[in-house]
């Protein structure tokens, strides 16, 4: 097929046909029952799961909900498989298969017992290995609420460095597998984030939108924890979005003892605590003492919570490998403690689950405090700010983001495949699961051992390769195999046939394809085999966004004489630039290409591709040469939107945007890492988790970076060389309203014995005071104030580390006139340490461990020297005026999306294909959409689901006050957009697609009235002495540092400083009013869209307000 380059909807009936063929797409063996209904899975036994299966509590007693649980890291000190099978016991005695084996047997023996399981990655590894009989028994346990899934995502994801798209994906996949296997009783209702190192507001919002009733977590700042315990605010209603209504509110509880049992009550084989010895006449009989100790602990805990219910986690890391041991002692503990009720004890122990505990809180009928900010950063003691992991292992963090990028492309192409091969869906699932593992709180965080990090990268690489087989096959179908379109109908049968083939069918993968559609994974160091070896090659540029985009393509080439043509015989303008010298000099770079060929790929169709033919010519192009050196004057690069000026020393000094010039300078500096023996909290080292600079001063690395300036018709670049291990390319493409700063850092020298934390710092004259903004998992922005927390008066003994926040995609600041934002290409730590200043930590190399378990220094090496990392910051400067569209914030939002999911370049050798042949016989432009979406709407998911089903997810990417036009609600008719898909039915689901939205009912909790808040604050006002008294029985804090505090005075001081004693009551009322105002359901005007978006069958018309995400399962028409 041959299409025009006009960029209009191009696509004729033949293209629609492949979508029809999707009906054959999904035949995934693991599907056992339809989602979102009970299916067969639950018919085998009587269902009484969830809240109905809870043991009764006693109204006039303190009900102690004992939660048997295990925390199974999906990789940390050992790899996923090592943990599952239990190998490498000398590193850690942990074997997940034994946990599930033995827990199931214990549960089968006794209907009173309860157990929760969290990580779907491990559960389904185990499930697959069980025979049908045991599987039935497990289903019975699930149906009776005796085994309950909590969380249920593929892994327990990190909340600082994980991107929302990947979080939603990994929940969607884990919850789907549970739903397919167990139906409604397999649906988790409780978020269980007991180990992640701080908690994002967006995660809470997503839990709420996924239909969860509540969230429990273990780690929060030690000062915040003390404050919340002493003010009975550790359980709260988290109002988790400034844009969405109650649908984003989530009941949230901070656990008292993280996720551990009371000290002395770990009955696991991994622990050394005393079992309960109840032989009547044994001299070792300890029943009385043990019960007394337990009561003492729970009575203490109970005084910090509001109801007559408390939750006690009975488990820990990889506990219950021999479940009998734990359960046997819990049985005794319950029996002997409850026996005291006859003598007047009012304590009642029961086997429970987090959902049953939540139900008890709900049934208590009381009101709860609210929370509007987040739980970052997390500090476990005055010198342990867990802000280093925001940056740790920068290359793994980038690789994870590339994984997300390619996963979306693989999903889209697979859903659009004209002919479905049997291996397509297994490949895709494997990739989804690999990405699910990457989100784990010791994976993308960089807090695993080096060998485990290498295994994560290996796993992801295999998954990318597997899905590359899909993309290669499908792109060949779309591009080469015109028979696919012409003979579509007759192919239906054979496609169905192939879909029936077993998993890992080999026929398609072995076939010699006409085009390679190769991915070059080393493009970030300008290395790619196809263009280096072939004189003729084809680039297929795939655009995964639902908007038509234009982008610049860079191709590493050995020479400067190439011509680029599109399929309309138009020669595209090009520019050649040298690969920066520091990149060429990388010892491990195998490529010989000294140049990059750059050309604009215009009007790339939405959810589609466009191809270009590139050939070497005999013409003599000019070798690119830098501007002559001129050390006496300033240098500038730019275009009509933005201009950057560099001073004679070689530093960026000003940015001019739309006539406004602001001082913006940028440099690389570093913090020297603190070194300590970790024996006490004062002597903490900086490490994989912890960022602790030796002092607040940054050290410079260069006073005079060397510059080379290259100009051309498409892009202007400044190549900066700061020293022999830090360099940067600053570039501005024609037309683009922002600048790119592509940094190259490493190997970081450590021969002076000091670890180093490298930052890129931007100092501007923007008068931002102590306010800056950081994103939450790539979505809503949160306001930050230096040396401040919204809910308590913080005392910072680590001023730099304590002001660091996770930057998943963006950090920004502004004043009355100007605004500056930096977008990142991976998660990094960042802050604003002065007015007008933004900094991002790009790389770190440390020589000491921080004593939180990894037991290795974060000293990444590759090829025998320190690891080199390369990445990009996108600098956007503009007016802070929010009245004229597009605002700077709107430009940031659209740029953010384009940098998350840029066009992907597939390379094919064309030595045997002439240009004419290619032009005549190949389909060189394609789109899966009939209409591109409005700028502010993201087609976030477009993927095959169950048989005859497609999962789609739309998202409004702006917040409500960011732009006068683009922040408005938008209506679109899904049928008009996806008219190439024949939709028979559409149903909206919760965010993770495991429940119909209409059926979803969430538990409601009542916020404290202003009077209650008033009284609460009033109490603190007059209770300084009480507060100090409270500390005599000090709340249990996970950090051991309290024991290490030397003097009583020191403790007292800390307690005083951490309390919110000075806040005025009036202020708190005002705060409540402002919050209520902010959270009032926001009625936004609807953005007028072209008629074409809304016309058609009303059933398919949807509306998206600011920051809304909506998920649908489309049932396809079955072609006859
Ligand atoms: Zn963990």
Burial degree of 151 (CB within 10 A; 0-12, 13-18, 19+): buried
Cα-to-centroid distance, 217 and ligand 1 (Å): 12
Distance CA 718, CA 580 (A): 10
Cα-to-centroid distance, 465 and ligand 1 (Å): 29
Cα-to-centroid distance, 389 and ligand 1 (Å): 14
| Partners of 564 in the β-ladder | 572, 614
Cα-to-centroid distance, 197 and ligand 1 (Å): 9
- At residue 787, does pLDDT exceed 50? yes
Question: In 10 A of CB 260, how many CB atoms?
Answer: 23
Cα-to-centroid distance, 436 and ligand 1 (Å): 15
Cα-to-centroid distance, 74 and ligand 1 (Å): 8
pLDDT tens-place string over residues 345-375: 999 999 999 999 999 999 999 999 999 999 9
* Stronger pLDDT, 128 or 28, i.e. the higher one: 128
pLDDT tens-place string over residues 1045-1056: 444 445 444 444
Distance CA 822, CA 828 (A): 11
- At residue 1040, does pLDDT exceed 80? no
Answer for the pair 244, 300: CB distance below 8 angstroms, yes or no. Answer: no
Task: State residue 976's pLDDT score.
Answer: 87
Peptide bond connecting 772 to the previous residue in cis, omega within 30 degrees of 0? no
Distance CA 483, CA 494 (A): 13
Q: 575-578 and 384-385: which strand pairing?
A: unpaired
Cα-to-centroid distance, 441 and ligand 1 (Å): 6
What residues does the ion ligand 1 have nearby, CB within 5 Å? 73, 195
Task: State residue 859's pLDDT score.
Answer: 97
pLDDT band at 978 (very low <50, low <70, confident <90, very high): confident
pLDDT tens-place string over residues 41-69: 444 456 789 999 999 999 999 999 999 99
Cα-to-centroid distance, 439 and ligand 1 (Å): 12
Task: State residue 945's pLDDT score.
Answer: 96
Those residues whose C-beta lies under 8 Å from the C-beta of residue 693, and which sit 6 or more positions away, are 671, 672, 673, 674, 686, 757, 800, 801
Q: Residue 487 has which token pair?
A: 């003979």
- Of the candidates 581, 589, 594, 515, the one whose C-alpha atom is nearest the C-alpha of residue 555 is 594
Question: Which one is catalytic: 158, 180, 195, 317?
Answer: 195
Cα-to-centroid distance, 1095 and ligand 1 (Å): 50
Annotated catalytic residue 195: yes
Alpha-carbon Rg for the chain, nearest whole angstrom, is 30
Q: What does 540-599 look like in DSSP terms, one character per residue? A: EEEE-SSS-EEEEEEEEESSS-EEEE-TTSPEEP-EEEEPPHHHHT-TT------EEEEE
Task: State residue 1089's pLDDT score.
Answer: 67
Q: Is 90 helix (H, G, I), strand (E, B) or coil?
A: coil
Answer for the pair 346, 340: CB distance below 8 angstroms, yes or no. Answer: no
pLDDT tens-place string over residues 790-815: 999 999 999 999 999 999 999 999 99
Q: Is 1049 helix (H, G, I), strand (E, B) or coil?
A: helix
pLDDT tens-place string over residues 885-916: 999 999 999 999 999 999 999 999 999 999 99
Task: State residue 571's pLDDT score.
Answer: 96
Question: 203-217, 854-868, 1058-1072 — which is least confidently predicted?
Answer: 1058-1072
Distance CA 212, CA 1107 (A): 19
Task: State residue 36's pLDDT score.
Answer: 62
Q: Is 2 helix (H, G, I), strand (E, B) or coil?
A: coil
Distance CA 756, CA 859 (A): 10
pLDDT tens-place string over residues 406-425: 999 999 999 999 999 999 99
- At residue 1024, does pLDDT exceed 80? no
- At residue 14, does pLDDT exceed 50? no
Distance of CA 454 to the CA centre of its chain: 20
pLDDT band at 139 (very low <50, low <70, confident <90, very high): very high
- At residue 1029, does pLDDT exceed 90? no
- Of the candidates 516, 402, 501, the one whose C-alpha atom is nearest the C-alpha of residue 468 is 516
pLDDT tens-place string over residues 682-701: 999 999 999 999 999 999 99
Task: For residue 839, give the H/E element and its range.
Answer: strand 837-845
Answer for the pair 191, 214: CB distance below 8 angstroms, yes or no. Answer: yes
Answer for the pair 470, 478: CB distance below 8 angstroms, yes or no. Answer: no
Q: Residue 44 has which token pair?
A: 């085998």
Task: State residue 1091's pLDDT score.
Answer: 72
pLDDT band at 1075 (very low <50, low <70, confident <90, very high): very low
Share of the chain above pLDDT 70, in %: 85
pLDDT tens-place string over residues 187-208: 999 999 999 999 999 999 999 9
Beta strands in 690-801 (DSSP E): 699-700, 706-710, 715-721, 726-733, 739-745, 756-764, 771-775, 781-785
Cα-to-centroid distance, 220 and ligand 1 (Å): 15
Cα-to-centroid distance, 542 and ligand 1 (Å): 37
Cα-to-centroid distance, 943 and ligand 1 (Å): 30
Cα-to-centroid distance, 438 and ligand 1 (Å): 13
- At residue 37, does pLDDT exceed 80? no
What's the chain's average pLDDT?
Answer: 88
Task: State residue 34's pLDDT score.
Answer: 45
Cα-to-centroid distance, 317 and ligand 1 (Å): 7
Share of the chain above pLDDT 90, in %: 80
Task: State residue 514's pLDDT score.
Answer: 87
Answer for the pair 376, 199: CB distance below 8 angstroms, yes or no. Answer: yes
Cα-to-centroid distance, 194 and ligand 1 (Å): 8
Task: State residue 1077's pLDDT score.
Answer: 52
CB hemisphere CA count around 451 (13 angstroms):
11
pLDDT band at 1012 (very low <50, low <70, confident <90, very high): low
Answer for the pair 576, 559: CB distance below 8 angstroms, yes or no. Answer: no
Q: What is the pTM of this model?
A: 0.90
Q: What does 135-176 look like in DSSP terms, one character per residue? A: HHHHHHHHHTTSEEE-S-SSS-B-SSS--HHHHHHHHHHHHH
**CA separation (Å) from 303 to 237, 250, 297, 1115?**
20, 24, 10, 53
Task: State residue 1062's pLDDT score.
Answer: 31
Task: State residue 999's pLDDT score.
Answer: 86
**CA separation (Å) from 93 to 129, 156, 322, 722?**
22, 20, 12, 47
Task: State residue 1005's pLDDT score.
Answer: 94
Those residues whose C-beta lies under 8 Å from the C-beta of residue 980, and which sit 6 or more positions away, are 11, 15, 16, 19, 928, 929, 930
Pick the most confident of 506-515, 939-948, 1085-1094. Answer: 939-948
Over residues 808-837, the mean pLDDT reads 98
Cα-to-centroid distance, 1088 and ligand 1 (Å): 47
Q: In this structure, is the dihedral angle defined by the CA atoms of residues 172, 1094, 894 and 387, taken in order, positive or negative?
A: negative
Cα-to-centroid distance, 158 and ligand 1 (Å): 9
Cα-to-centroid distance, 84 and ligand 1 (Å): 14
| Partners of 983 in the β-ladder | 1116
Over residues 918-930, the mean pLDDT reads 93
Cα-to-centroid distance, 442 and ligand 1 (Å): 7
Question: 160-169, 578-587, 1049-1058 — which is least confidently predicted?
Answer: 1049-1058
Over residues 539-555, the mean pLDDT reads 97
Distance CA 148, CA 141 (A): 8
Question: 182-186, 324-328, 1028-1032 — which is least confidently predicted?
Answer: 1028-1032
pLDDT tens-place string over residues 870-881: 999 999 999 999
């Amino acid at each position: 097929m041959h299409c025009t380059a006009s960029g209009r909807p191009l696509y004729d009936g033949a293209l629609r046909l492949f979508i029809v063929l999707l009906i054959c797409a999904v035949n995934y063996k693991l599907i056992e029952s339809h989602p979102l209904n009970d299916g067969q899975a639950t018919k085998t036994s009587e269902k009484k799961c969830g809240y109905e299966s809870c043991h009764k509590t006693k109204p006039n007693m303190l009900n102690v909900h004992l939660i048997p649980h295990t925390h199974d890291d999906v990789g940390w000190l050992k790899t996923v498989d090592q943990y599952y099978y239990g190998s490498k016991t000398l590193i850690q005695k942990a074997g997940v298969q034994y946990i599930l084996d033995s827990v199931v047997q214990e549960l089968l023996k006794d209907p009173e017992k309860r157990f929760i399981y969290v990580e779907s990655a491990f559960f389904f590894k185990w499930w697959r290995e069980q025979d049908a009989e045991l599987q039935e028994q497990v289903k019975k346990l699930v149906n009776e609420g005796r085994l309950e899934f909590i969380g249920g995502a593929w892994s327990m994801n990190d909340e600082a460095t994980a991107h929302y798209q990947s979080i939603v994906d990994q929940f969607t996949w884990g919850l789907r597998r549970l739903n397919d296997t167990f139906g409604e009783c397999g649906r988790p209702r409780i978020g269980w984030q007991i180990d992640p190192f701080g908690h994002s507001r967006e995660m809470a919002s997503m839990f709420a939108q996924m239909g969860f009733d509540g969230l429990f977590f273990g780690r929060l700042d030690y000062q915040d924890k003390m404050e919340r315990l002493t003010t009975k605010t550790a359980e709260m209603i988290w109002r988790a979005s400034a844009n969405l209504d109650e649908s984003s509110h989530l009941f949230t509880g901070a656990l008292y003892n993280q996720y551990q049992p009371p000290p002395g009550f770990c009955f696991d084989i991994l622990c050394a605590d005393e079992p309960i010895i109840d032989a009547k006449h044994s001299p070792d009989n300890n029943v009385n003492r043990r019960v007394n100790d337990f009561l003492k602990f729970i009575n203490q805990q109970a005084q910090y919570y509001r109801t007559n219910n408390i939750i006690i986690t009975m488990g820990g890391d990889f506990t219950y490998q021999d479940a009998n041991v734990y359960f046997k002692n819990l049985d005794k503990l319950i029996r002997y403690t409850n026996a005291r009720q006859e003598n007047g004890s009012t304590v009642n122990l029961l086997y429970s689950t987090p959902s049953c505990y939540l139900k008890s809180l709900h049934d208590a009928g009381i009101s709860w405090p609210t929370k509007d900010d987040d739980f970052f950063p997390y500090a476990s003691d005055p010198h342990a700010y867990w802000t280093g992991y925001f940056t740790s292992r920068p290359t793994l963090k980038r690789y994870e983001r590339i994984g997300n990028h390619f996963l979306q492309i693989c999903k889209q192409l697979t859903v659009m495949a004209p002919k479905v091969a049997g291996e397509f869906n297994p490949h895709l699932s494997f990739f989804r699961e690999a990405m699910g593992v990457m989100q784990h709180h010791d994976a993308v965080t960089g807090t695993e051992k080096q060998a485990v990090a290498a295994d994560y990268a290996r796993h992801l690489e295999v998954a990318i390769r597997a899905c590359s087989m899909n993309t290669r096959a499908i792109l060949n179908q779309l591009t080469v195999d015109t028979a696919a379109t012409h003979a579509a109908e007759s192919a239906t049968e054979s496609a169905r046939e192939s879909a029936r083939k077993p998993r890992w069918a080999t026929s398609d993968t072995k076939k010699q394809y006409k085009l390679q559609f190769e991915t070059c994974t080393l493009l970030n160091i300008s290395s790619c085999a196809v263009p280096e070896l072939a004189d003729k090659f084809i680039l297929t540029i795939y655009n995964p966004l639902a908007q038509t985009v234009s982008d610049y393509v860079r191709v590493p080439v050995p020479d400067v004489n190439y011509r680029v043509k599109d399929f309309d015989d138009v020669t595209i303008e090009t520019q050649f630039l040298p690969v920066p010298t520091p990149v060429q000099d990388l010892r491990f770079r195998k490529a010989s290409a000294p140049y990059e060929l750059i050309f604009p790929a215009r009007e790339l169709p939405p959810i589609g591709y466009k191809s270009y033919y590139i050939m070497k010519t005999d013409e003599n192009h000019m070798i690119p040469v830098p501007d002559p050196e001129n050390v006496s004057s300033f240098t500038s690069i730019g275009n009509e939107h933005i201009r950057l000026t560099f001073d004679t020393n070689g530093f960026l000094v000003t940015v001019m945007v739309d006539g406004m010039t602001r001082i913006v300078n940028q440099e690389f500096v570093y913090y020297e890492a603190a070194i300590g023996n970790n024996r006490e909290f004062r002597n903490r080292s900086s490490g994989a988790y912890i960022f602790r600079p030796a002092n607040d001063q940054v050290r410079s690395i260069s006073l005079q970076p060397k510059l080379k300036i290259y100009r051309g018709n498409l892009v202007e670049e400044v190549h900066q060389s700061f020293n022999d291990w830090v360099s940067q390319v600053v570039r501005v493409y024609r037309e683009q309203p922002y600048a790119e700063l592509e940094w190259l850092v490493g190997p970081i020298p450590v021969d002076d014995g000091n670890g180093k934390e490298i930052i890129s710092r931007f100092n501007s004259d923007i008068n931002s005071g102590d306010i800056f903004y950081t994103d939450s998992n790539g979505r809503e922005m949160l306001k930050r104030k230096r040396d401040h927390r919204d809910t308590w008066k913080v005392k910072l003994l680590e001023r730099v580390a304590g002001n660091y926040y996770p930057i998943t995609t963006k950090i920004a600041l502004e004043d009355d006139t100007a605004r500056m934002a930096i977008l990142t290409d991976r998660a990094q730590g960042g802050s604003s340490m002065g007015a007008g200043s933004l900094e991002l930590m790009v790389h770190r190399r440390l020589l000491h461990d921080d004593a939180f378990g990894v037991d290795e220094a974060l000293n990444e090496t590759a090829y025998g020297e320190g690891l080199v990392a390369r990445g990009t910051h996108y600098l956007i400067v503009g007016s802070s005026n929010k009245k004229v569209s597009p605002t700077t914030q709107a430009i940031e939002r659209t740029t953010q999306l384009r940098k998350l999911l840029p066009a992907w370049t597939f390379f094919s050798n064309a030595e045997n294909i002439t240009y004419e042949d290619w032009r005549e016989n190949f389909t060189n432009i394609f789109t899966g959409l009939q209409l591109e979406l409005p700028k502010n709407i993201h087609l976030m998911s477009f993927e095959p689901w169950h048989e005859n089903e497609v999962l789609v997810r739309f998202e409004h990417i702006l917040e409500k006050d960011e732009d006068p036009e683009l922040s408005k609600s938008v209506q679109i008719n899904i049928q008009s957009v996806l008219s190439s898909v024949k939709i028979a039915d559409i149903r909206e689901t919760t965010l993770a697609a495991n429940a119909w939205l209409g059926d979803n009912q969430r538990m409601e909790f009542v916020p404290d009235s202003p009077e209650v808040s008033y009284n609460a604050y009033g109490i603190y006002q007059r209770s300084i002495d009480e507060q100090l008294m409270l500390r005599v029985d000090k709340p249990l804090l996970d950090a051991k540092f309290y024991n290490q505090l030397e003097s009583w005075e020191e403790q007292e001081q800390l307690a005083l400083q951490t309390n919110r004693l000075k806040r005025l009551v009036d202020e708190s009322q005002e705060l409540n009013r402002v919050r209520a105002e902010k959270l009032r359901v926001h009625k936004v005007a609807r953005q007028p869209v072209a008629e074409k978006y809304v016309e058609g069958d009303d059933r398919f018309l949807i509306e998206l307000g600011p920051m809304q995400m909506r998920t649908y399962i489309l049932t396809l028409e079955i072609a006859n």
